Chain A
């Protein structure tokens, strides 16, 4: 039921990436330091979140919408 196998595969990969980034142990890996004066933990979580959204938007903008009869 995926629109096309390529998009399906990309989304699946992105989902796995998101799981890894958003779940422990990676999510809490950044310790106490700062990046540009902002606590590293905040930067790492927000940056990985932004990355996933950006990739998602890129994948979806290239995808064809799902249509009846395509794939099973």
Chain B
């Protein structure tokens, strides 16, 4: 063995180097961040678990240490949609930890933040214990025996706690970037990679004649040969891959490095392939070292310490010292980042909310208190790890302890991933999912680990509680055949995802919750900050609030900067909303989003369910209503148009029909007289010997028919002129009584010929009306001729009346003829329509008379109507206004 000084001096020097690097990086605040430093700092994923534990695991089970690194590789492949989104959101919302992130997504729920913090702390305890165990084991290997195991372990814990306090909680910084820490972690990533590679190369090239020789000799050893085939069941391999995928994001320290410490989003792309490459490199020599350990080292040694014992056994003291420093790098990096992340969470999400509720605390300066809380949290977390390690550590190998923590961290994954892509995920669902998943983890992994170490009564592993077999932690509900990790992962994820989805679809989210969901899911589309502070916040109150967390002087400077950036009035008593938002962001950087929100609300007055958000919701629904209103109107309009079209079409069809009828009527009417004229003319032409008397008779018929033809054509032309408006009207004030006397006189001969009596009853004291005298006379003559035509010869009685009616004067022509059937009353005013059956009764007229009358009367603004019943005569009534 080696002397204590030989071991401890380099360790102290190494610690000094780390501090120096951190301090320089912290001083160089102005320098732009480096991508490679970010990439290397992600190497914090590789802890003592990787450094010592992988070799230990590989010595027993071959290649199945690898899924833990393949999972993060796959996550990096998905990194662009997933991690880029997380990064963007975290920048917009000033996220300080994973608890902050989850709580912010789900309505800034303080309860959720506290729950996540609690799980993160409890879940990290085994992991920190793992580091402590590795550090103390490695020191025990290197130090001369007799130093006292307890002292070494305690010393290791103290060292890690001091590291955590010095690096992570040196002071309170509103932007929550620990430049020094990142630089130190990047350096440690290089150190552990170089040290492990050195041991690997030493193994292959010095202890053996190249790696071919190593593998060839391993093939001869049955125990080593077994490792070159895959022994792991598929379910376990898959479970390890899945849990490591979740852990790559959800472990508090991974989230810290990946998201919180990221200072430039452009660094993500190189990190996405650089990080897997780092994992690849650091795992390259694990198998050769493990096989060499099996070949060269005595059986029964601690397989987890092969990295140290292999060079030590070969007498390479300096190399073993280098390996020890590499291992220390791996452990300290993990504990540093983890304790920073956890202390931030404990402080912001557990302690501050309680502090803020204590009376009297609201006015005190809290910046010192916060720092104290963080330091105490770091020491507390490390002490918990120490306690767990003392009790449980000896029972488990390193990897098994770490996997337990992975499973706990994986409980955050559903809430994060669903929360990023599904707006419907709600606070209630997230709370139920995470809580149930955590409880199942406690039951199926954490409690068994205590039981196996005899802290709890181990009997319940075999028989469950109260003798219920289905409660057995390793075979819950009778599920057997899975390894404990996969078993626990299955049940906890089933409950977690199930309740997350179920709770989300069952419980209606609040408006603020929906606003936050939108801010997360649509981060690439929506403006960064979803809520505006409505109330008026006094600047003095904001300054006081900020001062309590960062000291009055710095608060003053920050506030002035905010006012300047917002271009607000520096002298205003009430702060601009942008300034209030800025203060909230600053506070969020110190105490977390949920608490900052509550605090600013206490100053800025009522809650922010943003008028903006309300307006947006109102806006959206108004838009939708407007849209549907427009649609309805459109369709109503369409219906109206269709109806009009249908009517127009019906009228057109009717007109078309009438035109056809008209044409056929006209040709018929014209052909009848023409036919007789032609036939009689032909007879006269063909037969010169016809008697004179007959010749006279024939010629009389020809003349009569010609007259009829002429009349017909005159009437048609009249009507056509009237209807087309070509006719010239001569309106004048006329006495209707005089006109009717004239008309009666003109038609007197007709009456006498047919033996029909005409009675006049004309009021002659009426005022003149404005009318075309000739046309009105024409109407009267037409009506009288009609009356004569349809009155029975000899006994016919026709009365012509003129009297004052309401609004005008009315001319009535009443006959005692056969009357007009009701069905015919509407059609007799149409052209060529005569009452009765046109085939059997010879039309006694052109069929245009009434059509002409109606046109004339309507041109005067009056009406022409008929009133009749079959057998009782007819009354034609002309009303002239």
Contact = CB atoms under 8 A, between A and B. Distances in A.
Given A27-B237, A37-B212, A63-B80, A42 B228 contact: yes
Contacts of B230: 24, 27-28, 41
A11 B85 CA distance: 15
B830 interface: no
B237 A53 contact: no
A71 B78 contact: no
A57 B273 contact: yes
B444 to A, nearest CB: 23
Contacts of B238: 23-24
Interface stretch (B68-76, B183-191, B399-407, B846-854): B68-76
B229 A11 contact: no
Interface in B55-81: 62-63, 66-67, 70, 73-74, 76-78, 80-81
Contacts of B277: 53, 57
Contact of B524 (A31, A34, A70): A70
A41 B84 contact: no
B78 A11 contact: yes
Contacts of A42: 63, 228, 287
Interface string A44-64: 011001101100110011010
A49 B280 contact: yes
B265 interface: yes
B522 interface: yes
A8 to B, nearest CB: 7
A8 B268 CA distance: 15
Contact of B215 (A19, A25, A37, A72): A37
Given A18-B74, A56-B276, A60-B273, A39 B215 contact: yes
B727 interface: no
A71 B70 CA distance: 30
A45 B522 CA distance: 38
Contacts of A45: 63, 66
Contacts of A2: 80-81
Contacts of B67: 22
B272 to A, nearest CB: 6
Contact of B211 (A38, A49, A50, A65): A38
A28 B230 CA distance: 6
Interface string B204-221: 000000011001100100
A25 B268 CA distance: 32
Contact of A41 (B77, B228, B269): B228
B32 interface: no
> For chain A, which range describes its interface: under 10, 10 to 19, 20 to 34, or 35 or more residues?
35 or more
Interface string A1-40: 1110001100100110011001111011001101011111
Contacts of A46: 280, 284
Given A23-B238, A34-B215, A15 B74 contact: yes
B300 interface: no
B839 interface: no
Contacts of A37: 211-212, 215-216
B228 A63 contact: no
Contact of B234 (A24, A34, A53, A68): A24
B783 to A, nearest CB: 81
A39 B228 contact: yes
Nearest to B233: A24
Contacts of A8: 80-81
B9 interface: no
Main secondary structure of the interface of B (DSSP, over half): helix
B229 A31 contact: yes
A37 B270 CA distance: 34
A68 B524 contact: yes
A50 to B, nearest CB: 6
Interface in B522-537: 522-525
Nearest to B232: A28
Given A22-B241, A53-B73, A53-B277, A72 B228 contact: no
> For chain B, which range describes its interface: under 10, 10 to 19, 20 to 34, or 35 or more residues?
35 or more
A24 B237 contact: yes
B433 to A, nearest CB: 24
B74 A22 contact: yes
A3 B215 contact: no
Given A24-B234, A45-B66, A46-B284, A1 B524 contact: yes
A16 to B, nearest CB: 9
A41 B287 CA distance: 11
Contacts of A32: 225, 228-229
Contact of A18 (B77, B211, B265): B77
Nearest to B211: A38
Contacts of A1: 81, 84-85, 523-524
Interface in B489-525: 522-525
Nearest to B273: A57
Contacts of B211: 37-38
Interface string B239-276: 00100000000000000000000000110111011001
B280 A56 contact: no
Contacts of A49: 66, 70, 73, 276, 280
Nearest to B78: A15
Contact of A60 (B66, B241, B272, B523): B272
Nearest to B71: A22
A1 to B, nearest CB: 4
Given A15-B78, A72-B522, A41 B237 contact: no
Q: Which of A1, A22, A34, A57 has the most CB of B within 10 A?
A: A1
Interface in B74-94: 74, 76-78, 80-81, 84-85, 88
B705 to A, nearest CB: 88
A36 B384 CA distance: 48
A15 B276 CA distance: 13
Contacts of A50: 280
Interface in B473-503: none
A10 to B, nearest CB: 10
A27 B74 CA distance: 15
Contact of A71 (B62, B66, B76, B524): B524
Nearest to A70: B524
Contacts of A36: 212
Contacts of B66: 45, 49
A20 B687 CA distance: 116
A66 B525 contact: no
A11 B80 contact: yes
In the A-B complex, the 4 residue pairs with the smallest Cβ-Cβ separation, listed nearest first, are A28-B230, A37-B212, A39-B228, A24-B234
27 contacts: A1-B84, A7-B80, A11-B81, A15-B77, A15-B78, A22-B73, A23-B237, A24-B234, A27-B237, A34-B219, A37-B211, A38-B211, A39-B215, A39-B228, A40-B228, A41-B228, A42-B228, A49-B280, A52-B77, A53-B273, A56-B73, A66-B265, A68-B88, A70-B524, A72-B522, A72-B524, A72-B525
Given A22-B241, A28-B230, A41-B229, 4 more contacts: A1-B81, A1-B523, A23-B234, A49-B73
